[in-house]
Amino acid sequence: MSKADPRARLQSWGADLAIVLGSGLGSLAEEVGSGERVPYSEFPELPPPRVPGHGGQFGLGWIGGTKAIFAQGRVHLYEGHSAHAATAGIRILAECGVKRVILTNAAGTTNPAYAPGSWMMISDHLNLTGTTPLLGAPAFIDMTATYSREWRTQLAEAGNALGIPLHEGVYAGLLGPQYETPAEVRMLRHLGADAIGMSTVLEAIQARALGLEVAGFSCLTNWAAGVSDQHLSHEEVLTTGKAAAGDLARLLGAAFRNA
């Protein structure tokens, strides 16, 4: 197989599952032993990530008993990209046979009951980025059940069996790149957000437009501004994300062991 044909390399792996790994979570692919790597740079339409903690490659491996493609890192709107460019990875995955995608991210928690270091399954989202990857595309995609309830039930059962606590809640996706002010966090909490980040929502929209089944996980890496007295830093996000990646690897391995 030609190294110059990156799509064929992804397609030949034959995976219908993809896992997009957010800030500090790229080590999950190493934990489950992904094999061949296909750099994002081999896809002209896929910009390379410039944010620390985003590796910029697809890894081909297994999660439990299921073949998967691991997208190690993503690009963000705040890096200067359009919504279309920021979701190019999702379109590539769909073109290569993926039917199910798990979107992960690092997020600040606004919910006092959801402590940093834990995981939250995304039940719904608020797209507050001010844009969509569907501009110029067929309109009126139904977003009623963006995040699969059946999949959430399956993953929650796996978490319970392993003793890994899983919260469930609403993720607010913002433009960034600055962190939110305490006043903005209070507003978002009033709107129903349990976690806040700068990714995921556009990928979920694109995935649903392509007919993919979607699940989402937020690694709650820090209290959002004003929830505690601590100041925020990306280094803290990366450290907490790396520490929590093992729990997600165990959870997904159990959930897909017999899939």
User: Binding site membership for a purine D-ribonucleoside: which residues?
Assistant: 180, 222
Let me know if 23 is a catalytic residue: yes
Let me know if 190 is a catalytic residue: no
Out of 86, 195, 198, 225, the active site residue is 198
Contact between residue 120 and residue 220 where contact means Cβ atoms under 8 Å apart? yes
Out of 127, 199, 218, 254, the active site residue is 199
Let me know if 81 is a catalytic residue: no
Out of 15, 40, 68, 79, the active site residue is 79
Let me know if 199 is a catalytic residue: yes
Let me know if 234 is a catalytic residue: yes
* Residue 86 one-letter amino acid: A
Let me know if 249 is a catalytic residue: no
Out of 23, 105, 127, 218, the active site residue is 23
Contact between residue 99 and residue 93 where contact means Cβ atoms under 8 Å apart? no
Report residue 90 as tokens: 């999702």
Cα dihedral across residues 241, 246, 249, 255: positive or negative: negative
Let me know if 29 is a catalytic residue: no
Binding-site positions read 23, 54, 74-76, 106, 180, 199, 222
Dihedrals φ, ψ of 127, to 5°? -90, 100
Binding-site positions for phosphate read 23, 54, 74-76, 106, 199
Out of 31, 82, 234, 236, the active site residue is 234
Out of 54, 84, 125, 167, the active site residue is 54
Let me know if 231 is a catalytic residue: no
Report residue 88 as tokens: 């190019």
Let me know if 54 is a catalytic residue: yes
Q: What's the rounded Cα separation, in Å, for the pair 46 and 222?
A: 29
Where in the sequence numbering do the catalytic residues fall?
Answer: 23, 54, 76, 78-79, 106, 198-199, 222, 234
